[in-house]
Amino acid sequence: MTDILDVDLLAFERGSTQERLATVDGVMRSLSTGFVYTKHDLSEDMLDETYDVLSEFFALPTETKEEYVASGARGQTGYTGLLVETAAISDTPDWKEMLNWGTALPPGHPLRERYPHRYGDPVFPSRHISNAAEILTHFHECLVELQTRFLRIIATGVGANEHYFDTMLRHGSHLTRAIRYPPMSDAPGSGNDGHMWAEEHGDINLITALPRATARGLQVKVDDKWIDAAPPDGHVIINTGIMLERLTNGLVPVGWHRVAADKDQLEGRLSVVQFCHPTPWTILSPIPSTVSPERPCNFPVMSAGDCLDQVLWEINLSAE
């Protein structure tokens, strides 16, 4: 079975030529699973503050949390309640609630004018948690920087310039999502064999970063078997999405995953992920180095915005 490997982002950035090459090799081998674990330099204090704010938010009464629903946002900002999002392969809505946020662009910016539901003002629970906007915005910015840096390893690995992704990520419609999975005992129809918090799915974007979760549950599909994601301490989980698969002509596949509670897992789970997106007008055309006579082009050209809208429809968020 192919393993999910742990690598060191800082070794790529600060190490010798050999260390850089070893990091690129480890990332590319691990991403045959769609997943990799990386050491990072995120502040643990920053992560603690973020999780404290989010724990406080999700502990609010449901009617209070619903004050932060952003009508028409399609799950791109504000609160999304239980049993709304549905995996594309499933008919059963996921048992989770979410708080979503990103970074707004100034009025008049062409991206905001053309894609208002991607770049609207973020909805923070500031009326009930006074420092929420400051702390959650800082977390979002730190994760965008980390993912931009990590994509430079992937760009090198597929034979592109190290900074290939940088331009498309500037003002990208990056989405940070806090996800609370309620205890298994609260789930409708839950039995003694465990419960699926989120069904099998692949993310839409380029890559996704998960720096911390409060409980186990994330599982990765490797060689048609499900294995637990178990990163070493001090590592961020990175997984790949549909847009990266298209840009690399399938050289980097989608990381298929689910979130499950086993029969002995009675507590809930809180995790915060960030979906790293290019600007929506980016054309997802395969990088030339990934196309050859042995690897002909597999994907028709499509814009990132159209790709996102297609999948949002499939997972029941278009009407949000």
* DSSP assignments along 254-310, one per residue: ---EEEEE-TT--S-EEEEEEEE---TT-B-PPPGGG--SSS---S---BHHHHHHH
pLDDT on residue 320: 45
pLDDT on residue 186: 66
Q: Is 248 helix (H, G, I), strand (E, B) or coil?
A: coil
Is 317's pLDDT higher than 80? Answer: no
What is the strand order of the sheet 257-261 is part of?
195-201, 257-261, 218-222, 225-228
At which residue do the structure tokens 């692949």 appear? Answer: 202
Q: Are strands 78-80 and 97-101 parallel, antiparallel or unpaired?
A: antiparallel
Domain positions in the chain are 6-314
Q: Is 19 helix (H, G, I), strand (E, B) or coil?
A: helix
The one-letter amino acid code at 265 reads Q
What value does the mean pLDDT take over residues 16-35? Answer: 97
User: Cβ(191)–Cβ(262) under 8 Å?
Assistant: no
Is 308's pLDDT higher than 90? Answer: no
- Token digits for 215? 């409980």
pLDDT digits (tens, 9 = 90+) for 224-276: 999 999 999 999 999 999 999 999 999 999 999 999 887 777 788 999 999 99
What value does the mean pLDDT take over residues 118-132? Answer: 93
Query: In angstroms, rounded to a whole number, what is the distance separating the alpha carbons of residues 41 and 219?
Result: 25
Selected from 2.60.40.10, 1.10.10.350, 3.40.50.180, 2.60.120.330, the CATH number assigned to the domain covering 6-314 reads 2.60.120.330
What value does the mean pLDDT take over residues 101-124? Answer: 89
pLDDT on residue 91: 58
Q: Are strands 6-8 and 35-39 parallel, antiparallel or unpaired?
A: parallel
What value does the mean pLDDT take over residues 98-103? Answer: 94
The better pLDDT of the pair 92, 225 is held by: 225
**Averaged pLDDT score across all residues of the chain:** 90
pLDDT on residue 92: 65
Q: Is 245 helix (H, G, I), strand (E, B) or coil?
A: helix
The alpha carbon dihedral of 287, 288, 289, 293 has a sign of: positive
Is 19's pLDDT higher than 50? Answer: yes
pLDDT on residue 192: 46
The alpha carbon dihedral of 304, 310, 314, 319 has a sign of: positive
pLDDT on residue 189: 58
User: Cβ(47)–Cβ(55) under 8 Å?
Assistant: no
pLDDT digits (tens, 9 = 90+) for 182-193: 886 666 655 445
DSSP string of 81-111? -TT----TT-SS--S-EEEEE--PPPTT-HH
User: Cβ(268)–Cβ(181) under 8 Å?
Assistant: yes
At which residue do the structure tokens 């050859």 appear? Answer: 292
User: Is this structure's pTM higher than 0.85?
Assistant: yes
pLDDT on residue 126: 96
pLDDT on residue 1: 64
User: Cβ(136)–Cβ(101) under 8 Å?
Assistant: yes
User: Cβ(30)–Cβ(222) under 8 Å?
Assistant: no
Is 89's pLDDT higher than 60? Answer: no
**Quick count: other Cβ atoms within 10 Å of Cβ 49?**
17
For residue 218, give the H/E element and its range.
strand 218-222
What value does the mean pLDDT take over residues 97-114? Answer: 91
Q: Which residues contact 292 (CB under 8 A, 6 or more apart)?
A: none
pLDDT on residue 194: 57
pLDDT on residue 256: 96
What value does the mean pLDDT take over residues 291-309? Answer: 92
pLDDT digits (tens, 9 = 90+) for 161-201: 999 999 999 999 999 999 999 886 666 655 445 577 888 99
pLDDT on residue 196: 79
